[in-house]
Amino acid sequence: MNNSAGVPSPHVTVSLEGVRRGARAISPVLVGQLPYATVVGLSAQAHGFSMLEAALMSGLMFAGAAQLLALGAWVYPPPIFGTTLAATMVNLRFVLMGPLMAPWMDHLRGWKRWGLLFFLVDNAWAMSVQEIEKGKRDAGFLLGAGLVLWFFWVTGTMAGFLVGDFVAPPPGHPLFFAALAVFIAMLVPLWKGRRDILPWITAAATAALVSHLMPGTAWHVVAGAIAGSFVGLLQTWAGKAYAA
Protein backbone atom coordinates (compact mmCIF):
# COMPACT_ATOMS: atom_id res chain seq x y z
CA MET A 1 0.00 0.00 0.00
CA ASN A 2 2.74 2.43 0.98
CA ASN A 3 4.77 2.96 -2.14
CA SER A 4 6.89 5.82 -0.88
CA ALA A 5 9.71 3.58 0.27
CA GLY A 6 12.62 3.65 -2.13
CA VAL A 7 10.69 5.56 -4.79
CA PRO A 8 11.90 9.10 -5.52
CA SER A 9 9.25 11.40 -4.04
CA PRO A 10 6.99 12.76 -6.79
CA HIS A 11 5.89 16.32 -6.30
CA VAL A 12 2.29 16.16 -5.02
CA THR A 13 0.51 19.51 -4.84
CA VAL A 14 -2.84 20.90 -3.70
CA SER A 15 -3.48 23.63 -6.27
CA LEU A 16 -6.47 25.84 -7.01
CA GLU A 17 -6.46 24.45 -10.53
CA GLY A 18 -6.83 20.94 -9.09
CA VAL A 19 -9.67 22.10 -6.82
CA ARG A 20 -11.49 23.51 -9.88
CA ARG A 21 -11.00 20.31 -11.87
CA GLY A 22 -12.33 18.19 -9.01
CA ALA A 23 -15.34 20.46 -8.54
CA ARG A 24 -16.19 20.29 -12.25
CA ALA A 25 -15.73 16.51 -12.45
CA ILE A 26 -18.00 15.78 -9.48
CA SER A 27 -20.92 18.04 -10.51
CA PRO A 28 -22.99 15.40 -12.39
CA VAL A 29 -23.05 13.29 -9.21
CA LEU A 30 -25.07 16.00 -7.44
CA VAL A 31 -28.23 14.83 -9.25
CA GLY A 32 -28.04 11.60 -7.29
CA GLN A 33 -26.88 13.16 -4.03
CA LEU A 34 -29.52 15.89 -3.62
CA PRO A 35 -32.56 13.61 -3.15
CA TYR A 36 -30.52 11.60 -0.65
CA ALA A 37 -29.64 14.78 1.32
CA THR A 38 -33.31 15.75 1.24
CA VAL A 39 -34.29 12.43 2.82
CA VAL A 40 -31.71 12.99 5.58
CA GLY A 41 -33.15 16.44 6.31
CA LEU A 42 -36.69 15.09 6.25
CA SER A 43 -35.84 12.27 8.70
CA ALA A 44 -33.97 14.64 11.01
CA GLN A 45 -36.97 16.95 11.11
CA ALA A 46 -39.31 14.04 11.85
CA HIS A 47 -37.13 12.93 14.77
CA GLY A 48 -37.29 16.32 16.45
CA PHE A 49 -33.97 17.80 15.37
CA SER A 50 -33.74 21.57 14.98
CA MET A 51 -32.56 22.78 11.58
CA LEU A 52 -29.23 23.80 13.11
CA GLU A 53 -28.78 20.28 14.54
CA ALA A 54 -29.63 18.72 11.19
CA ALA A 55 -27.11 20.98 9.41
CA LEU A 56 -24.51 20.28 12.10
CA MET A 57 -24.99 16.54 11.66
CA SER A 58 -24.52 16.71 7.89
CA GLY A 59 -21.63 19.17 8.12
CA LEU A 60 -19.63 17.24 10.70
CA MET A 61 -20.45 13.66 9.71
CA PHE A 62 -20.72 14.07 5.93
CA ALA A 63 -21.73 10.40 5.73
CA GLY A 64 -25.20 9.73 4.34
CA ALA A 65 -25.48 6.04 5.14
CA ALA A 66 -24.34 6.50 8.75
CA GLN A 67 -26.64 9.48 9.23
CA LEU A 68 -29.73 7.72 7.86
CA LEU A 69 -28.93 4.66 9.92
CA ALA A 70 -28.63 6.73 13.09
CA LEU A 71 -31.86 8.58 12.30
CA GLY A 72 -33.66 5.33 11.43
CA ALA A 73 -32.99 3.96 14.92
CA TRP A 74 -33.24 7.34 16.70
CA VAL A 75 -34.54 7.51 20.25
CA TYR A 76 -34.24 10.33 22.75
CA PRO A 77 -32.00 10.59 24.71
CA PRO A 78 -29.70 8.86 22.20
CA PRO A 79 -27.58 5.94 23.42
CA ILE A 80 -24.20 7.53 22.59
CA PHE A 81 -22.13 4.34 22.59
CA GLY A 82 -24.59 2.30 20.52
CA THR A 83 -25.15 4.98 17.88
CA THR A 84 -21.42 5.70 17.62
CA LEU A 85 -20.59 2.02 17.22
CA ALA A 86 -23.28 1.62 14.55
CA ALA A 87 -21.96 4.68 12.69
CA THR A 88 -18.44 3.22 12.84
CA MET A 89 -19.68 -0.06 11.38
CA VAL A 90 -21.43 1.67 8.48
CA ASN A 91 -18.28 3.67 7.79
CA LEU A 92 -15.89 0.71 7.90
CA ARG A 93 -15.74 0.90 4.12
CA PHE A 94 -13.76 4.15 4.51
CA VAL A 95 -11.08 2.11 6.29
CA LEU A 96 -10.65 0.18 3.06
CA MET A 97 -10.87 3.27 0.85
CA GLY A 98 -8.24 5.38 2.63
CA PRO A 99 -5.21 3.24 1.76
CA LEU A 100 -5.80 3.79 -1.97
CA MET A 101 -5.10 7.50 -1.44
CA ALA A 102 -1.54 6.70 -0.29
CA PRO A 103 0.13 7.87 -3.55
CA TRP A 104 -1.09 11.40 -2.70
CA MET A 105 -1.26 11.37 1.10
CA ASP A 106 2.21 9.91 1.62
CA HIS A 107 3.66 13.09 0.08
CA LEU A 108 1.51 15.57 1.98
CA ARG A 109 2.02 16.71 5.54
CA GLY A 110 -0.03 18.13 8.40
CA TRP A 111 -3.39 19.74 7.65
CA LYS A 112 -3.15 18.95 3.97
CA ARG A 113 -3.01 15.22 4.59
CA TRP A 114 -5.35 14.98 7.59
CA GLY A 115 -7.71 17.70 6.31
CA LEU A 116 -8.07 16.14 2.87
CA LEU A 117 -8.96 12.78 4.42
CA PHE A 118 -12.14 14.40 5.82
CA PHE A 119 -13.39 14.60 2.22
CA LEU A 120 -13.03 10.87 1.64
CA VAL A 121 -16.58 10.17 0.45
CA ASP A 122 -17.58 7.44 -1.99
CA ASN A 123 -17.85 9.40 -5.25
CA ALA A 124 -15.00 11.86 -4.63
CA TRP A 125 -12.83 8.91 -3.64
CA ALA A 126 -13.70 6.84 -6.72
CA MET A 127 -12.86 9.74 -9.05
CA SER A 128 -9.64 10.50 -7.17
CA VAL A 129 -8.54 6.86 -7.53
CA GLN A 130 -8.95 7.26 -11.29
CA GLU A 131 -6.86 10.46 -11.18
CA ILE A 132 -4.11 8.66 -9.28
CA GLU A 133 -4.20 5.82 -11.79
CA LYS A 134 -3.73 8.38 -14.59
CA GLY A 135 -0.61 9.58 -12.78
CA LYS A 136 -2.04 12.97 -11.74
CA ARG A 137 -0.29 14.51 -8.75
CA ASP A 138 -2.71 17.27 -7.81
CA ALA A 139 -4.54 16.27 -4.61
CA GLY A 140 -6.57 19.48 -4.95
CA PHE A 141 -8.89 17.31 -7.06
CA LEU A 142 -10.13 15.48 -3.95
CA LEU A 143 -10.55 18.78 -2.10
CA GLY A 144 -12.56 20.37 -4.94
CA ALA A 145 -14.80 17.33 -5.41
CA GLY A 146 -15.25 16.94 -1.65
CA LEU A 147 -16.06 20.61 -1.05
CA VAL A 148 -18.78 20.67 -3.72
CA LEU A 149 -20.35 17.48 -2.35
CA TRP A 150 -20.11 18.82 1.22
CA PHE A 151 -21.73 22.16 0.38
CA PHE A 152 -24.71 20.57 -1.37
CA TRP A 153 -24.92 17.85 1.27
CA VAL A 154 -25.45 20.45 4.01
CA THR A 155 -27.75 22.75 2.01
CA GLY A 156 -29.70 19.73 0.68
CA THR A 157 -30.22 18.55 4.27
CA MET A 158 -31.56 21.97 5.22
CA ALA A 159 -33.88 21.96 2.19
CA GLY A 160 -35.21 18.53 3.21
CA PHE A 161 -35.72 19.80 6.74
CA LEU A 162 -37.85 22.70 5.42
CA VAL A 163 -39.90 20.27 3.30
CA GLY A 164 -40.55 18.20 6.43
CA ASP A 165 -41.44 21.31 8.38
CA PHE A 166 -43.88 22.43 5.68
CA VAL A 167 -45.54 19.11 4.89
CA ALA A 168 -45.29 17.77 8.48
CA PRO A 169 -45.93 14.13 7.50
CA PRO A 170 -47.17 12.04 10.46
CA PRO A 171 -45.15 8.99 11.64
CA GLY A 172 -45.78 6.02 9.37
CA HIS A 173 -46.25 8.28 6.36
CA PRO A 174 -44.94 6.64 3.15
CA LEU A 175 -42.48 9.55 2.64
CA PHE A 176 -40.34 7.98 5.36
CA PHE A 177 -40.14 4.81 3.34
CA ALA A 178 -37.64 6.77 1.19
CA ALA A 179 -35.01 6.44 3.94
CA LEU A 180 -35.43 2.66 3.87
CA ALA A 181 -35.51 2.60 0.07
CA VAL A 182 -32.06 4.26 -0.03
CA PHE A 183 -30.57 1.20 1.67
CA ILE A 184 -32.66 -1.37 -0.20
CA ALA A 185 -31.46 0.16 -3.50
CA MET A 186 -27.87 0.10 -2.22
CA LEU A 187 -28.04 -3.69 -1.81
CA VAL A 188 -28.16 -4.30 -5.55
CA PRO A 189 -24.68 -2.98 -6.47
CA LEU A 190 -23.30 -4.61 -3.29
CA TRP A 191 -24.50 -8.07 -4.30
CA LYS A 192 -21.47 -9.96 -5.60
CA GLY A 193 -23.17 -13.26 -6.41
CA ARG A 194 -23.34 -16.65 -4.71
CA ARG A 195 -20.66 -15.82 -2.15
CA ASP A 196 -23.14 -13.44 -0.51
CA ILE A 197 -26.05 -15.87 -0.06
CA LEU A 198 -25.06 -17.42 3.30
CA PRO A 199 -23.59 -14.23 4.85
CA TRP A 200 -26.67 -12.18 3.89
CA ILE A 201 -29.14 -14.80 5.20
CA THR A 202 -27.14 -14.99 8.46
CA ALA A 203 -27.13 -11.19 8.73
CA ALA A 204 -30.90 -10.97 8.11
CA ALA A 205 -31.74 -13.70 10.65
CA THR A 206 -29.40 -12.28 13.31
CA ALA A 207 -30.71 -8.74 12.81
CA ALA A 208 -34.34 -9.91 13.03
CA LEU A 209 -33.63 -11.81 16.25
CA VAL A 210 -31.63 -9.02 17.94
CA SER A 211 -34.12 -6.30 16.99
CA HIS A 212 -36.84 -8.47 18.53
CA LEU A 213 -34.84 -8.93 21.75
CA MET A 214 -33.54 -5.33 21.94
CA PRO A 215 -36.11 -3.10 20.25
CA GLY A 216 -35.35 0.61 19.86
CA THR A 217 -31.57 0.18 19.61
CA ALA A 218 -29.08 -0.07 16.73
CA TRP A 219 -27.48 -3.29 18.00
CA HIS A 220 -29.23 -5.45 15.42
CA VAL A 221 -27.17 -3.67 12.73
CA VAL A 222 -23.87 -4.34 14.49
CA ALA A 223 -24.75 -7.93 15.43
CA GLY A 224 -26.06 -8.80 11.96
CA ALA A 225 -23.00 -7.36 10.19
CA ILE A 226 -20.55 -9.18 12.48
CA ALA A 227 -22.40 -12.53 12.30
CA GLY A 228 -22.82 -12.30 8.51
CA SER A 229 -19.20 -11.30 7.88
CA PHE A 230 -17.99 -14.08 10.16
CA VAL A 231 -19.97 -16.63 8.16
CA GLY A 232 -18.37 -15.09 5.06
CA LEU A 233 -14.94 -15.68 6.58
CA LEU A 234 -15.76 -19.30 7.50
CA GLN A 235 -17.14 -19.88 4.02
CA THR A 236 -13.99 -18.44 2.43
CA TRP A 237 -11.80 -20.70 4.56
CA ALA A 238 -13.99 -23.76 3.84
CA GLY A 239 -14.00 -22.94 0.12
CA LYS A 240 -10.21 -22.76 0.09
CA ALA A 241 -9.99 -26.10 1.91
CA TYR A 242 -12.23 -27.77 -0.70
CA ALA A 243 -10.55 -26.08 -3.64
CA ALA A 244 -7.08 -27.15 -2.50
Partner 1 sequence: MRLDPWIVLAIVSMALATYATRAGGYWLFSRFDPPQAVRIMLSYVPGTLFVSFVTPSIINGGVKEWIGAVATLLVATRTKSPAWPIAIGTGAAWIIFEMR
Residues in 167-186 at the binding interface with partner 1, rule: CB under 8 A: 173-175, 177-178, 180-186
Which residue, 17 or 95, has its beta carbon nearer to partner 1? 95
Q: Which is nearer to partner 1, 7 or 181 (CB)?
A: 181
Query: Is residue 134 near partner 1 by the rule CB under 8 A?
Result: no
Q: How far apart are CA 72 and CA 75, in angstroms?
A: 9
Question: Which among 13, 36, 22, 55 is positioned nearest to 144, based on CA atoms?
Answer: 22
Residue 218's closest CA among 92, 98, 82, 120?
Answer: 82
Q: Which lies closer to partner 1 via its Cβ, residue 151 or residue 177?
A: 177
Cβ–Cβ under 8 Å, residues 129 and 26: no
Site for partner 1 in 206-225 (CB under 8 A): 206-208, 211-212, 220-225
CA angle 86, 87, 91 (to 5 degrees): 115
Q: Which amino acid is at 174?
A: P
The answer to the question of residue 142 lying near partner 1 (CB under 8 A) is: no
- Options 11, 96, 166, 244; binder of partner 1; rule CB under 8 A: 96
Q: Does 144 contact partner 1 by CB under 8 A?
A: no
Binders of partner 1 among 58-77, rule CB under 8 A?
Answer: 60-63, 65-66, 69-70, 72, 76-77
- 25 counts as binding partner 1 under rule CB under 8 A: no
Q: Which of residues 100-129 bind partner 1 (CB under 8 A)?
A: 101-102, 105-106, 114, 117-118, 120
Nearest distance from residue 138's CB to partner 1, in Å?
18
Could you tell me how many helices (H) and strands (E) the chain has, helices first? 13, 0
Count the Cβ atoms, other than its own, within 10 Å of residue 37: 23
In 134-218, alpha helices (H): 140-167, 177-190, 197-213
Query: Cβ closer to partner 1: 114 or 151?
Result: 114
